[in-house]
């Protein structure tokens, strides 16, 4: 089983938000940066950006941290968060070493990248990124 990891190079990012908007549009039916599974952290003073995105760890700490059995590994080895089973405790987000499980306070939800489960052509963020800042790592596609 292969996990198709996404590789992010923040130095290329231009903050166009095509990745986050595609993510929230496909998962939530709306364009809402806070409902995306990834985010772009900005330092406008220096005009530099950081892509915060799930690294799909070999040994996912979020999975171990969940006290509610709301997370499981799918057949690709990707950690999936079941929103209905989630008890909103935030343990997974706290455990994530990359800060890549965002919490949408208004919607009271935690959001976890599922690598666009079910999308045959692969994750949308990599597809949309116009500058190659997010790419599907070659040779490891699932």
Site of interaction with another protein (CB under 8 A) = 12, 14-18, 21-22, 24-26, 28-35, 42, 44-48, 105-106, 124, 127-128, 130-132
For another protein, the closer of residues 117 and 131 by Cβ is 131
Rounded Cα distance, 130 and 83, in Å: 31
Q: Which CB sits closer to another protein, 72 or 119?
A: 119
* CB 102, min distance to another protein, A: 12
Least gap, CB of 82 to another protein (angstroms): 22
Token pair belonging to 72: 């499981």
* Minimum separation from the CB atom of position 89 to another protein (A): 22
- Smallest distance, Å, CB 130 to another protein? 4
Q: Which one, 79 or 101, has the nearer CB to another protein?
A: 101
Please report where in the chains the tokens 């890549």 appear, as a residue.
Answer: 100
72-76: Cβ within 8 A, 24+ apart:
74/114, 74/117, 75/1, 76/1, 76/2, 76/3, 76/4, 76/115, 76/117, 76/142
Contact 2, 122 (CB under 8 A): no
């Amino acid at each position: 089983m292969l996990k198709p990891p996404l590789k992010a190079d923040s130095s290329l990012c231009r903050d166009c938000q095509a990745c986050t908007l595609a993510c929230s549009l496909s998962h939530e039916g709306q364009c809402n940066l806070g409902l995306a599974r990834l985010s772009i952290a900005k330092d406008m003073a220096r005009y530099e950006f950081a892509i915060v995105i799930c690294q799909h760890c070999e040994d996912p700490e979020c999975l171990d941290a969940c006290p509610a059995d709301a997370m499981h590994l799918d057949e690709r080895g990707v950690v999936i968060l079941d929103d209905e089973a989630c008890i909103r405790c935030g343990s997974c987000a706290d455990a994530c070493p990359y800060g890549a499980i965002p919490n949408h306070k208004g919607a009271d939800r935690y959001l976890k990248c599922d690598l666009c489960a079910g999308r045959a052509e692969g994750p949308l963020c990599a597809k949309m990124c116009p500058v190659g800042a997010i790419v599907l790592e070659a040779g490891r596609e699932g």
